[in-house]
Amino acid sequence: MEIREIREKLDQAEKRLVGLGGEWQMRPPAGSSLRRCRLSDPEQSQLKAAYESLARLLSGRDYYIAATAVDGAVREAGFDESRITAPCGNVHWRQCSKACTKDIWEEGEVPEDICPHCGAPLTGNTIEAENYIEEGYLPSWEAYKRWQAAALNHRLLILELGEGFDMPAVLRWPFEKNAYFNKKAFLCRVNERFYQIPKEIGERGAGIAMDSREFVRELEAAGGQA
**What distance in Å separates the CA atoms of residue 155 and residue 151, rounded to the nearest whole number?**
8
Residue 31, pLDDT score: 81
DSSP state of 128: T
Same domain, 143 and 160: yes
Same domain, 78 and 184: yes
Domain boundary among 114, 133, 152: 133
Same domain, 65 and 144: yes
CATH of the domain at 60: 3.40.50.1220
Residue 169, pLDDT score: 92
Same domain, 9 and 111: no
CB–CB of 216/24 below 8 Å? Answer: no
Same domain, 79 and 170: yes
Same domain, 146 and 114: no
Same domain, 20 and 119: no
User: Quick one: which of 154, 206, 221, 205 has its CA closest to 184?
Assistant: 154
Domain boundary among 71, 102, 133: 133
Residue 225, pLDDT score: 53
Could you tell me where the DSSP H helices lie in the chain?
3-12, 45-58, 138-151, 172-181, 212-221
Same domain, 176 and 76: yes
For residue 102, the enclosing domain spans: 89-133
**What distance in Å separates the CA atoms of residue 23 and residue 122, rounded to the nearest whole number?**
27
- How many domains does one find in the chain? 2
Kindly give the confidence (pLDDT) of every residue in the chain, 226 residues in length, as a single tens digit, with 9 standing for 90 and above: 799 999 999 999 999 999 999 999 999 888 889 999 999 999 999 999 999 999 999 999 999 999 999 999 999 898 999 999 999 999 999 999 999 999 999 999 998 999 999 999 999 999 999 999 999 999 999 999 999 999 999 999 999 999 988 889 999 999 999 999 999 999 999 999 999 999 999 999 999 999 999 999 999 999 865 4
Domain boundary among 133, 160, 188: 133
Same domain, 179 and 119: no
Same domain, 114 and 78: no
Residue 59, pLDDT score: 95
Same domain, 124 and 150: no
pLDDT digits (tens, 9 = 90+) for 58-76: 999 999 999 999 999 999 8
Same domain, 11 and 68: yes
Residue 112, pLDDT score: 92
What pTM value is reported for the model?
0.93
**What distance in Å separates the CA atoms of residue 80 and residue 74, rounded to the nearest whole number?**
10
